[in-house]
Amino acid sequence: MRAIERLKAAVSMAQAKKSVTLPDGTQFEWYMSPLTIAQRSRAQKAVGSDDAIAFSLQLLQMVAKDEGGAPLFAPGDMAELRNALPAKLVDEMLLVMLDAKDEEEDGEDEEEITPKTSSRRSRKTTS
């Protein structure tokens, strides 16, 4: 089996449900497939700058879908995401979209951070 075939067989590109807890305690849910490099590249080209927030919002607009697969956000919604919502909420959505926040493994992530902290201290003493 070729390497690319093995890699493709090992992952699922099916849409998965993502969610964040809103300030009122309800869940806001959307669906998306795992991000690809091509999607990231298209979002970066659409933004046309190195603005990380604009890039993330563009990517969210491109990939967030409702249960039926229809886009959740229109291009005109980006200004409202920037101006009409708390930054904390939008940031949380972006982190979930980018898989930087995995709600199911919060406890496990803390264990993984500890060794990294130790190695940073080691580097300081060696320099």
Percent of the chain at pLDDT above 90?
76
Residues paired with residue 27 on neighbouring β-strands, in sequence order:
21
Residue 32 pLDDT greater than 60, yes or no:
yes
pLDDT at residue 99, rounded to an integer: 86
* Band of pLDDT at residue 119, cut at 50, 70 and 90: very low
Select 12-126's CATH number: 3.30.420, 3.40.1130, 3.30.2220, 2.40.50: 3.30.2220
CB neighbours (10 Å) of residue 65?
A: 16
Alpha-carbon distance of 30 to 17, in angstroms, equals: 6
d(CA 77, CA 83): 10
Characterize 79-107 residue by residue with b for buried, 16 or more Cβ atoms within 10 angstroms of its Cβ, and e for exposed. Answer: eebeeeeeeeebbbbbebbeeebeeeeee
